[in-house]
Amino acid sequence: MLSIEEVENQVISEFEIYDDWLDRYNYLIEMGKSLPVIDPKHKIDNNLIHGCQSRVWLHAEHENGKIYFTADSDAVITRGIISLLVRVFDNRTPDEIINANLDFINTIGLTQHLSPTRSNGLASMIKQIKIYALAFKTKE
């Protein structure tokens, strides 16, 4: 299995293929389609991430020392963004997530090219993933 950093580098090189942002949105939309489907029973208000203007649900489970994420959003570009994060952080130990370097988000220019509200949403998603990692770590 690839390390977090290796997956991040993969994402960077996939993004670099496209120089037009419409194509990058297309790529995100496609990626959203591969997102592990969240069980409807986890699509509850408690799993909503605050700070996103479209709705984003993120569910995390902790098993054998690893964290597994499923997610969904009612906006497809947002679903692409959360699926990008799930791809990087799924099936990792809490420590891997806590210590992960997130420079790839800046490298692919995601923050700068999203509207401020979406950019805040992205920050909230990352924060929520890290909070899950911290919470599961203290339980271990």
Partner 1 sequence: MNIKQDIEKIRSDFPILSREIYGKPLVYFDNAATTQKPSVVIDALTKYYTEQNSNVHRGAHHLSNLASETFEQARIKVQKYINARSIHEIIFTSGTTESLNLVAASYGKKFIGKGDEIIVSELEHHSNIVPWQILCEQTGAVLRVIPMLDDGTLDFEAYLKLLNPRTKMVSVTHVSNSLGTIVPIKKIIDAAHELNIPVTIDGAQASAHMAIDVQELGCDFYCFSGHKTFAPMGIGVLYGREELLEVMPPFKSGGEMIKIVTFSKTTFNDLPFRFEAGTPNVGGAIALGTALEYIQDIGLNFIAEREKALLDYLNKQLSTVKEIRFIGTAPEKTSVVSFLIDKIHPYDAGAIIDRFGVAVRTGNHCTQPIMEHYDIPGTIRASLSFYNTEKEIDVLIGAIEKVKKMLY
DSSP the chain: ---HHHHHHHHHHHHHT--SHHHHHHHHHHHHHTSPBPPGGG-SGGGBPTT-SS-EEEEEEEETTEEEEEEEESSHHHHHHHHHHHHHHTTB-HHHHHT---HHHHHTTHHHHS-HHHHHHHHHHHHHHHHHHHHHHHH-
Answer yes or no whether residue 48 interacts with partner 1 by CB under 8 A. no
Residue among 27 and 68 whose Cβ is closer to partner 1: 27
Answer yes or no whether residue 42 interacts with partner 1 by CB under 8 A. no
Answer yes or no whether residue 43 interacts with partner 1 by CB under 8 A. no
Region 75-134 residues binding partner 1, contact defined as CB under 8 A: 75-78, 114-115, 117-118
- Residue among 29, 98, 102, 123 that touches partner 1 (CB under 8 A): 29
Active site residues: 52
Q: Using CB under 8 A as the criterion, which residues of the chain lie in contact with partner 1 when the complex forms?
A: 21-22, 25-26, 29, 53-55, 74-78, 114-115, 117-118
